[in-house]
Structure 1
């Protein structure tokens, strides 16, 4: 594995892009962006923990050799455009990782490029905060990835693991990515939405109180739904993700809270929107997620 293409310079794109840029030849790492974005990046520069990022930018129209590894780090509402923008970077042997929130992006990308190219992925444990062209983080977190089928470790997964080991990218190979993805979904449903509604930071849900109670209630609604979907999350999974939460900087903020603060429309449909839909599907009440959904929609109505 030699060449990497990344599409999406939000928090994760900058974090992992900057890390890789210091460990591999500049020509082998490509950041895909349209011409307007590239001009903005070059004019304003991008900084990661105070260091200026040195990226090679390519437009969607630029002809190039397919990437060995293509990483999607866009917001969900930009996924369809990103899939089209990355087409020159996908070849017969390209491996694709999606670090998007939610539980649906792999299927959407796989429909365009083939599920045989997809490894399921979850980004967890980072506390990055992005303001304008500055990204600050204390904990880099890690990329957890693996195959769609439980119990397998494919050659593709081994190749990515070997590459990440050489590039010193924190990672974990998981033999049950369905449970991992649903667990991260459960965490996002709780943490992202609660911190956004209370317009605070991780600290408010790391300590006992009204916000933490609401967060855990929202997460438990996901556990009930997971049973109906054949995933079977449990109290043990809840405690695992609460432990992950406890490691994050109290001053950090999840992406939804950062969106609300910046008056950007959030990914609420990926979280409580999806929970409410599953609740209707299975006839299970989801009152906490209903409350969080309505509160976030109310805040966004004033943008």
Structure 2
């Protein structure tokens, strides 16, 4: 099998970056952006801008029936996932491969319950510093997708197919040997970065330098390390260093998704970050005071939304 058609659901920062790259390297009609009628009308009326240039993607309604996509990528927020699964049903066929670029550590299993885990590859998007305000996206670093089976000592057929496709369109990627470890590492980063930048109303620059925000971020990340050891993932200080190095290369003026949500008075994915940490902390009897504090600070800030 060779990937020729790609469907994307969710036109946030990641969705726009991916749609832009794929549309620039494939026939326009082979890249489908799935959206309902009202969203399509808004996109066509107001446009979608990326680094100052307007893009008109190939929009497809959820109810449209066509040949299933070879590759389906979920780029929605977690609270939109169930609706996105319904909207993507006509895109999935027997041989469709599915990637989920959502934050957290649970979306693959949720999608897999509907479409089958045999279609899923685990996925992490990392290293991008995109900022989306209304219909305008700006970024300096595109980052990359890390994907694979849970273990990739030997690549599966699905992994090989996706890697060959990404090679053909010069799309940055990595296939880690241990995807569970990478998923938890990104979860650790998000738990620290997203919440800290939101609570301190700063940007990446605010946590790239020494000070209280950076100290809070690292403390929140270390609570995830402690939890990971209880569940057999076993993150350690070398993982913390790896992700701090990823953070150091981001545009200081950029902001993670939670900070961007708060800037436009939108409810955040706090339950996906500290909410999950707190619940796991109770389950495994691991104290999580920093994440407790961040969780309640975010909820307090959201009261005015």
Bin of the TM-score, shorter chain as denominator length: over 0.9
Q: Report matched runs for 1:1-303 at 5 Å.
A: 1-149=3-151, 151-303=153-305
Instruction: Output one character per residue of 1:241-260: Cα deviation in whole Å (capped at 9) or x when no partner.
Output: 00000000000000000001
Give CA-to-partner distance per residue, 1:9-60, whole Å, 9 cap, x none. 0000001111111110011000000000000000000011111112110101
CA contact (8 A) 2:104 2:187 kept: yes
Deviations 1:180-218 (A, max 9, x none): 000000000000000000011000100000000000000
CA distance in 2, matches of 1:118, 1:40: 31
TM-score for the superposition, normalised by structure 1: 0.99
Q: Deviations over 1:76-95 (max 9, x none)?
A: 00000000100010000000
Q: Are 1:18 and 1:54, in contact at CA under 8 Å, matched by a contact in 2?
A: no
Q: Point out where structure 1 has 5 or more consecutive residues left out of the alignment.
A: none
TM superposition score normalised by structure 2:
0.98
2:44, 2:56 within 8 Å by CA — same for their partners in 1?
Answer: no
**Whole-angstrom CA distance in 2 between matches of 1:14 and 1:150:** 28
C-alpha contact (below 8 Å) 2:76/2:102 kept by paired residues: yes
Shift of 1:294: 0.5
Cα distance in 1 for partners of 2:188, 2:244 equals: 10
**Distance apart, 1:149 and its partner CA:** 3.5
C-alpha separation in 1, matches of 2:264 and 2:38: 21
Give me the whole-angstrom Cα distance separating, in 2, the residues matched to 1:120 and 1:151: 15
Unaligned runs of 5+ in 2: none
Tell me if the contact between 1:192 and 1:254 (Cα under 8 Å) persists in the aligned partners. Answer: yes
Instruction: Give the C-alpha shift of residue 152 in structure 1.
Output: 3.8
Kindly indicate whether the alpha-carbon contact (under 8 Å) linking 2:123 and 2:183 is maintained by their aligned counterparts in 1.
Answer: yes
Q: Name the CA distance, whole Å, in 2 between partners of 1:35 and 1:104.
A: 29
Rounded Cα–Cα distance in structure 1 between residues aligned with 2:153 and 2:196: 34
SS at match of 2:142: coil
Deviations 1:218-269 (A, max 9, x none): 0000000000011000000000000000000000000000001110000000
1:27 is paired with a residue whose SS is helix
Aligned partners of 2:108 and 2:122 also within 8 Å: yes
CA contact (8 A) 1:153 1:175 kept: no
